[in-house]
Amino acid sequence: MAPMGTEAKAVVLGDLVLDLVAILPGPLNYGTDTRCQLFPRPGGAAANTATWLRRLGLPVLYVGRVGADPLGQALVDGLRHEGVDARVARDPEAPTGTIVALISPGGERSMLISPGANHRLRPEDLPADALAGAGVLHLTGYSFFWDAPRQAARAALAAARAQGIPVAVDVASAGLIREYGAERLLADLAGVTYLFCNEDEARLLTGAADPEIALEMLARSFPVVGLKCGPRGSLVAAGSERVVQPALPAPAVDTTGCGDAWDAGLLAGLLQGLSLRAAARLAAWTAAWVVARPGAVPAGWADRDRAAAWTAAGAG
């Protein structure tokens, strides 16, 4: 079996929120009541990826900001329970962020976001020693779409580049890319090693409707590109190598956080020595585990699941 750990840690900076996952039995009844199943879950794209990197065997340091409220403390305690080294600032004015995820039949989600303290992440929230011994810095697009967290993300990215640490970014949101501007975001991401996106995001960044063409265009600027294609799987480029990874079979209960788990699977695999193909399969396995359960970081993960994930990746 592949190694379950590594000396080089992953540093993750970005959002930590409460997800309220509402699984709907049918269309939303506008203006009146709609029955649903409601699941409160830890969330935030950055924190999700941090948790999955840790579950897959990497030491992880997470940096973020929550409100000075019981919810923020509970979310930080949850990260620490997962084994993540959480260095989280407590904001005296803004509340902890919350997201409402409306899950339609078939598992697709629409997000209502109230970022709260995430909007106020500052460069000084990154501890001076945070990047010591890091093998990768992971950021999300959400940190680039507002002024304060953008400054924090840019400072972290610049510090990582100065120390020769690869940077990974998931661009995160087609809707927010439209508001912010694709060219502006690409300028922010100059020098990033790993770029992760879905088809809609890739289309906005490149203007190409064909995902394979979009992949090739992005691969000219980023050494490793992961393009997530939902139920069809993913396309991955690294140098001259290309991998087409079909999605693994799983009931589509909730797609919330699948992309974050996929990112963690690919990074964990590559940082722990897997081939590109095996790392892409590990990413697919992790995403399939998530989509079959409510929430981005469902409870119930155990050592046997990690062993199964590495075995499925072809590491056994």
Q: In the prediction, which pLDDT does 123 show?
A: 94
Query: Model confidence over 198-218: pLDDT tens digits?
Result: 999 999 999 999 999 999 999
- Cβ neighbors of 65 (< 8 A, separation 6 or more) are 16, 88, 89, 90, 91, 117, 118, 120, 121, 122, 125
67 phi and psi, to 5 degrees?
-75, 165
Indicate whether 4 pLDDT > 70: no
- The residue ranking higher by pLDDT, 314 or 134, is 134
The type of residue at 203 is R
Q: In the prediction, which pLDDT does 77 show?
A: 97
Choose, from 19, 188, 254, 260, the residue flagged as catalytic: 260
User: Mean pLDDT throughout 276-288?
Assistant: 97
Token look-up 């600027």 returns 221
Pairing assessment for the beta strands 17-23 and 37-43 based on DSSP bridges: antiparallel
* Res. 5 pLDDT band, cuts 50 70 90: very low
Give the residue from 95, 96, 87, 99 showing the smallest Cα distance to 45.
Answer: 99
Q: Contact at 8 Å (CB) between 120 and 65?
A: yes
User: Mean pLDDT throughout 102-117?
Assistant: 83
Average pLDDT, the chain: 92
Q: In the prediction, which pLDDT does 129 show?
A: 93
Query: Model confidence over 128-149: pLDDT tens digits?
Result: 999 999 999 999 999 999 888 9
Domains of the chain as residue ranges with CATH = 9-312 (3.40.1190.20)
* Res. 315 pLDDT band, cuts 50 70 90: low
User: Mean pLDDT throughout 190-196?
Assistant: 97
Indicate whether 76 pLDDT > 60: yes
Indicate whether 316 pLDDT > 70: no
- Cβ neighbors of 201 (< 8 A, separation 6 or more) are 141, 171, 172, 173, 174, 177
User: Mean pLDDT throughout 158-181?
Assistant: 94
Give the whole-angstrom CA distance, residue 167 versus residue 156.
9
Is 85 a residue of the active site?
Answer: no
Q: In the prediction, which pLDDT does 1 show?
A: 32
User: Mean pLDDT throughout 223-243?
Assistant: 97
- The residue ranking higher by pLDDT, 45 or 314, is 45
Query: Model confidence over 21-69: pLDDT tens digits?
Result: 888 889 888 899 889 988 898 999 999 999 999 999 999 999 999 999 9
